[in-house]
Chain A
Amino acid sequence: MSMDRREFLKIAGSSTFLATIGIGAGWILSRPGEFLEASQFLQTKELLKAKQWAMVVDMRKLKTEEDYKKVIDACHRIHNVPNFDNPKDEVKWIWLDTFEHAFPGQESEFMPEQMKHKPFVLLCNHCENPPCVRVCPTKATFKRKDGITMQDLHRCIGCRYCMAACPFGARSFNYRDPRPAIKEPNPEYPTRMIGVVEKCTFCEERLAKGQMPACVEASNGALVFGDISDPNSEVRKILNTNYTIRRKAELGTRPVVYYILDIPTSVVPGGEGNV
């Protein structure tokens, strides 16, 4: 096939153009989306600042059913989370599940009974590389520079792509009108409408007022919250001195909720008795 100069330039030009589009598209798709400053939407003097908020759940300190109930109720009450008594339409921001369901693939038949059956406190992992933010077609789910994964309930179109993308089942969709299912509405916090996705926000509204998240406050020290990028923070100190695990860390979403397991030390030779 012969080709004149003009033809060659035409093909070379259009190939370069297509390659540029391809590389550009690849670059865009590898981005997690844009990050916003916390101060961009809540201007308060008391705002607690951090480079990367994180949470440690110390399973050793959660003992009775009451301990769990307090944590969950604290969140669900102040955030007007509806209760439908129906798993199909369920909305939840913080909830309980067993080790084998929270950490699928990590369980073993012979693990200590106490670990097998003790419920874990689960919530949004506020991943540093969140798939929900990457897939959202309207930026309704976005990332703050302090590490909080946020949800704009007024922009959400209810496509539920984020629910398909979240590996932690942390997102709930309002399949029904939530308002009649809220027992005691909290007038300080907005209720939601039909057809939008919601989830834990690390209590950004409380951080703005200089308060710790509600679940942390109600946990008697079992849930610890702080800036993981600060070496002197409590969360960092705990992480430096304890063995912690994260849910599905192998997926690379970089969750920032860490768990200290409640391992019965009495079974370890030389370990302290723990009855």
Chain B
Amino acid sequence: MFEKALVGSKRYWTWVIVLLAVIGIGFITYLQQFKLGLGITGLSRDVSWGLYIGQFTFLVGVAASAVMLVIPYYLHDFKKFGKIVILGEFLAVSAVTMCILFIFVDMGQPMRIMNVILHPTPNSIMFWDSVVLGGYLGLNIIIGWATLHADKKGTRPAAWVKPLIYLSIPWAISIHTVTAFLYAGLPGRHFWLSAIMAARFLASAFAGGPALLIILALIVRKFTKFDPGKEAIQAIGKIVTYAMIANVFFLLLEIFTAAYSSIPGHTHPFKYLYFGLEGHARLVPLMWASSILAIVSIVLLVFPSIRKNESMLALACIALFVSLWIDKGFGLIIGGFVPNMFEKVTEYWPTLPETIITISVWAVGFLILTILYKVAVSVREETAGIELEH
């Protein structure tokens, strides 16, 4: 089936070449980082994780969100998701690949990455995170490819695929739970030391991931003959609405506990993020932008009459995605490090090389997504009209 990615329109190839160019620039910049060290980033002794780990955390959520299509389709027999579920699975493949790349570019000694496998350490959450992420990547590649291959031949997927699909459901929950545990079990990091962290991660994942999927589905429909289905998109819109409201609710719970208890360790990160602390307020405009976009997206989503208009739905999804990206891909990580362990404020801002590397990792993700979607769409265009049966 891969040959379908090798033939395409001029527009397809232009897009692929643009992505390759961005990846090339990023690769050269990474070589610089490889040689000079992470000193070329904005990271410091006090803020030792930043944009890279933020992207990793955010994208684990995007990857996990495929389950929001798999559950209705495979567990509740919601037939309308039949055509779109493959887009979710392939989005997961692309997102997990980006996660792995972001971990890789964040490492001080990337050539030693195999040490995680050579010296398996079950008391480290990071060890488990690598296990669940690797497994999830494998599951989605196998499931996505097997179901698509069956569609191509007009048959049902082999019997062994079903158990894997069922396994992928708790597995998706596990990747984001374990990722939350990376943060939620550290003594002294008050901002992260919260039992609701994993739940909040899942809520934001189930809002942000499907929102991206809606945007992608609309793009696919605009540029190809493949239609994921109006009703399917609307159904995902409802999922996004509920998940986003849950996400904002969970964030408000965190704010209540910090503010009402007024324990300095708990209030200071929130003060830093939303109002500035000791005259340092670099993230304040971003965090408020995130809050405003969150409210805008909820207002647009919560009224069915607005949500049913696809341009409004797309607008809401973009607002929501940007809001969550700021909140989780940036604020959540930096907030854990500011103030530092000495109650002092050291600010962080990504440097140009760091930003270029980040964008190029996203470009790798988009390239993988483009190729996988091209294959899926070409197969579906050929089999258009044939009833899918998994």
Contact = CB atoms under 8 A, between A and B. Distances in A.
Given A28-B123, A172-B45, A158 B36 contact: no
Interface in A52-94: 87-91
A42 interface: no
Interface in B89-143: 103, 106-110, 112-113, 115-116, 118-119, 121-127, 130
Contact of B187 (A100, A155, A167): A167
Contact of A251 (B118, B182, B188): B188
A88 B183 CA distance: 23
Which of B106, B123, B340 counts the most chain A CB atoms within 10 A? Answer: B123
Given A155-B119, A157-B116, A194-B37, A87 B45 contact: yes
B49 A102 contact: no
Interface stretch (A134-142, A202-210, A266-274): A134-142
B187 A157 contact: no
Given A88-B44, A105-B265, A137 B108 contact: no
Contacts of B115: 137-138, 140, 155, 157
Given A101-B343, A169-B342, A196 B109 contact: yes
A157 B186 contact: no
Contacts of A248: 188
Contact of B109 (A105, A135, A156): A156
Interface string B27-61: 00000000011110001111011000000000000
A252 B227 CA distance: 57
A195 B341 contact: no
Interface size range of chain A in the complex: 35 or more
A165 interface: yes
Contact of B108 (A25, A160, A252): A160
A47 interface: no
B144 interface: no
Given A131-B186, A195-B107, A253-B187, A137 B127 contact: yes
B189 interface: yes
Contacts of A100: 343
Given A104-B342, A164-B48, A173-B48, A194 B119 contact: no
Contacts of A135: 124-126, 186
A161 B124 contact: yes
A157 B341 contact: no
B139 to A, nearest CB: 18
A155 B119 CA distance: 9
Contacts of B189: 164-165, 167
Contacts of B341: 166-169
Contacts of B187: 131, 165, 167, 251-253
Given A164-B48, A169-B46, A176 B39 contact: yes
Contacts of B108: 156-160, 173-174, 194-197
A45 interface: no
A185 interface: no
B365 interface: no
A256 interface: no
Contacts, number: 152
B116 A195 contact: no
Nearest to A194: B37
Contacts of A87: 44-45, 346
A173 B336 CA distance: 18
Interface stretch (A29-37, A215-223, A233-241): A29-37
Contacts of A160: 48-49, 106, 108
Contacts of A32: 123
B107 A158 contact: yes
A101 B342 contact: yes
Nearest to B187: A251
Contact of A29 (B118, B123, B265): B123
Interface string A82-120: 000001111100000100111011000000000000000
B344 interface: yes
A74 to B, nearest CB: 22
Nearest to A136: B124
B112 A155 contact: yes
B37 A177 contact: yes
B285 interface: no
Contacts of B122: 25, 28-29
Nearest to A159: B107
Interface in B62-105: 103
B119 A175 contact: no
Nearest to B339: A104
B264 interface: yes
Nearest to A154: B112
A168 B342 CA distance: 8
Interface of A: 25, 28-29, 31-33, 87-91, 97, 100-102, 104-105, 131, 134-140, 155-161, 163-169, 172-177, 194-197, 248, 251-253
Given A101-B344, A134-B124, A137-B127, 9 more contacts: A29-B123, A89-B44, A158-B110, A159-B106, A160-B48, A167-B187, A168-B188, A195-B109, A196-B109
20 contacts: A29-B125, A87-B44, A87-B45, A88-B44, A102-B342, A131-B187, A131-B188, A137-B124, A157-B109, A160-B48, A161-B182, A164-B183, A167-B188, A168-B188, A169-B45, A169-B46, A174-B108, A175-B37, A196-B108, A197-B108
